[in-house]
Amino acid sequence: MLLDMKAHVEGIRAMIFKGFYYLDIESNSADRDRAKLFASFAEILTPLVKCYGSEASLGVVAQAIQVLGGVGYTKEYPVEQYLRDSKILTIWEGTSFIHANDLVGRKMRLKEGKPFMAWQAHVKATIDAMEGTPGFEKEMKSLNRGYQCMEDVT
Catalytic positions, please?
A: 93
CA distance linking residue 67 with residue 44, whole number of Å: 36
Contact of 49 with 41, CB cutoff 8 Å: no
The DSSP call for residue 154 is: -
Nearest Cα to 119, choosing from 82, 154, 92?
154
Q: Which residues of 43-58 are buried (b: 16+ CB within 10 A; e: fewer)?
A: bbbbbbbbbbbbbbbe
CA distance linking residue 3 with residue 21, whole number of Å: 27
